[in-house]
Structure 1
Amino acid sequence: MENQNHSAEAEVKQAIFEGTHLQTGDLLDIKVAAFDDNAVRPFNLATMTQAGNSAEVVQSQSTQSGPVGYLVSNEGYIIFPVLGKLYVQDMTLSQLREDLERRLLEYLTDPMVSVRQLNFNITVLGEVKNPGQYTSASDKVTLLQALGMAGDMTDNGDRTKVKLVRHENGTDNTYVVDFTQKNITSSPYYYLQQNDVLYVEPDENKKIIAGTNPNRNLIFSIIGSGVAIISILISTLK
């Protein structure tokens, strides 16, 4: 058992995590640090003054009562203090961090930027115990963790044909994942992206019980005809 656990851990470590790609509607927590605390004040939402670019910064904050951060607009931009309007759509968090540190070198000698996603959402539907939408504090969410959030599959879930719906380049693409494969950690879809939807299909037995058998209408028609014939025979015998 111990060797199996070590093997599973090694496989997970080998899985490739490229990072989630930013989309419209993403809410980001961005903090700028440096040795000179006063120098970084204008670049942080929590400490900046109400003067200057404050009107633009407000547009970047969450409009709800939830956490305050930089909201990616429908056009893919955030409004950052001093730097202004920045296009961030399709960047990873790491790429955005590096881009901001490069831009801030014009104003700071030692900028250190941290970027965190505040609303990483995934949806798990179908044959799971607790279907619904889930928000993670981390963007590093795996297929297995997503199922865990939803309480795992029910006994009627088809583990060989789990559908992953992902919005890419303006379209929704569907991929099929087989959870029974030992090399699932090497799947390019092992790590989820923002707004991914997992749908666990019912197995064949559940489909039949639910009346989704394609021959269902034919079967009912035959049964109905049989009942009618029996009724006629009984009436004639009387």
Structure 2
Amino acid sequence: MMEGATKHRSTNPFFYLPLRLLIFLMKKHTSLLSLLLFLLAITSCKPKENMIYMESDRSATEEQVRQAVYEGSHLQSGDFLDIKVTAYDEFAVRPFNLHSMNQLTNPSESGGAQSAQAAPQGYLVDNEGYIIFPVLGKISVRGLTLAQLRQELENRLTEYLSDPLVSIRQLNFNITVLGEVKRPGQYTTPNDKVTLLQALGMAGDMTDYGDRTKVKLVRHENGTDKTVIIDFTDKNITSSPYYYMQQNDVLYIEPDIVRRRSANVDPNRALVFQIGGLALGIISILLTFRR
């Protein structure tokens, strides 16, 4: 199989054409060869400006950058919440906390290595956007922020408790970063306040071939997926309404034109160009010194 492929390449009149052209230029037109090598070098390099984040006026030593307003992540089906209720009367507040109720119904599971290995307790937002809360029953939470849900619960709990306080954490805040990054994948964080730059940092930053001017953000809203293009070289990125990530957001970094061109080149032909370019560079230097 390999012998057939090698024979096919050797009989192809166009396979060695680039190498033959380079040899001809090397013998007859050294100055033209030097110019071609120079053009090859500058076209294969990536401009430094395209690798800078939040580019601004370099003459300014300090700059005021507008910050986007953080509204909080909006809850959706599949979210897993840790909700704790506190009040002055510790006994009265127990029915409203999963952990306290489990200790009362299963005393053997309180403390010790067994509880340390137990699955995290919390409230799962079902497919219809509801959670089942002790005493209060079904509560619609889809589309609410954590702050809005906290206020809703505190208002309802005043019927049973004096000055109740509610704390909520999202246990499975997931974001995905794909494309030209060093560590693509899905990331889970207990903090739902994650910015675009922080998400990029989780994935190890972009590679040198990432297009920083056309980063795609895919967000699920109102039952549909919406895609927006974000320019990471823009200094005003921090004031973008998409600066803060939402649950299940996907960030995709496209390859730049250099990477796309190299991906479309036949590997064998690219190897010929690389070897030929290296050889020509060495010969050009030798010819220069001989003069």
Separation in structure 2 between the aligned mates of residue 33 and residue 149 of structure 1, nearest angstrom: 34
SS at match of 1:146: helix
Per-residue deviation, 1:35: 1.1
Separation in structure 2 between the aligned mates of residue 174 and residue 49 of structure 1, nearest angstrom: 43
From 154, 159, 174, the equivalent of 1:106 is 159
From 134, 139, 142, the equivalent of 2:192 is 139
Per-residue deviation, 1:49: 5.2
SS at match of 1:48: helix
- 1:121-200 matches, cutoff 5 A: 121-200=174-253
Per-residue deviation, 1:117: 0.4
Q: Which runs of 5+ in 1 are unaligned?
A: 53-64, 217-238
From 76, 82, 85, the equivalent of 2:129 is 76
Separation in structure 1 between the aligned mates of residue 104 and residue 227 of structure 2, nearest angstrom: 47
Contact kept, 8 Å, 1:123 with 1:197, in 2: the verdict is yes
Contact kept, 8 Å, 2:65 with 2:235, in 1: the verdict is no
Task: Compute the TM-score of the two structures, normalised by the length of structure 2.
Answer: 0.64
Contact kept, 8 Å, 2:173 with 2:248, in 1: the verdict is yes
Separation in structure 2 between the aligned mates of residue 51 and residue 74 of structure 1, nearest angstrom: 30
Task: Determine the structure 1 residue equivalent to 2:170.
Answer: 117
Separation in structure 2 between the aligned mates of residue 30 and residue 198 of structure 1, nearest angstrom: 29
Separation in structure 2 between the aligned mates of residue 85 and residue 49 of structure 1, nearest angstrom: 20
- RMSD between aligned residues: 2.2
Structure 1 residue 11 and structure 2 residue 51: aligned?
A: no
Per-residue deviation, 1:67: 2.1
Contact kept, 8 Å, 2:73 with 2:192, in 1: the verdict is yes
Task: Determine the structure 2 residue equivalent to 1:60.
Answer: none
Aligned pair in 2 of structure 1 residues 160, 49: CA closer, same or farther (>3 Å)? closer
From 85, 90, 103, the equivalent of 2:143 is 90
SS at match of 2:81: strand
Per-residue deviation, 1:15: 2.0
Separation in structure 2 between the aligned mates of residue 16 and residue 204 of structure 1, nearest angstrom: 34
SS at match of 2:260: helix
Per-residue deviation, 1:11: 3.2
The count of residues paired between Structure 1 and Structure 2 equals 197
Aligned pair in 2 of structure 1 residues 66, 124: CA closer, same or farther (>3 Å)? farther
Runs of 4+ in 1 over 6 A off after TM superposition: none
Aligned pair in 2 of structure 1 residues 66, 187: CA closer, same or farther (>3 Å)? farther
Contact kept, 8 Å, 2:88 with 2:162, in 1: the verdict is no
Separation in structure 2 between the aligned mates of residue 81 and residue 96 of structure 1, nearest angstrom: 15
Separation in structure 2 between the aligned mates of residue 203 and residue 50 of structure 1, nearest angstrom: 56
Per-residue deviation, 1:50: 8.0
Separation in structure 1 between the aligned mates of residue 97 and residue 81 of structure 2, nearest angstrom: 12
| Letter matched to residue 120 of structure 1 | F
Structure 1 residue 210 and structure 2 residue 266: aligned?
A: no
Task: Determine the structure 2 residue equivalent to 1:38.
Answer: 91
Which protein shows a greater Rg? 2
Range 94-103 or range 43-52, more displaced: 43-52
- Whose strand fraction is larger, Structure 1's or Structure 2's? 1
| Letter matched to residue 154 of structure 1 | T
Aligned pair in 2 of structure 1 residues 48, 162: CA closer, same or farther (>3 Å)? same
Per-residue deviation, 1:116: 0.8
Separation in structure 1 between the aligned mates of residue 263 and residue 69 of structure 2, nearest angstrom: 39
Task: Compute the TM-score of the two structures, normalised by the length of structure 1.
Answer: 0.78
Contact kept, 8 Å, 1:126 with 1:199, in 2: the verdict is yes
Separation in structure 2 between the aligned mates of residue 24 and residue 100 of structure 1, nearest angstrom: 19
Q: Which runs of 5+ in 2 are unaligned?
A: 1-57, 106-117, 267-291
Aligned pair in 2 of structure 1 residues 170, 98: CA closer, same or farther (>3 Å)? same
SS at match of 1:46: helix
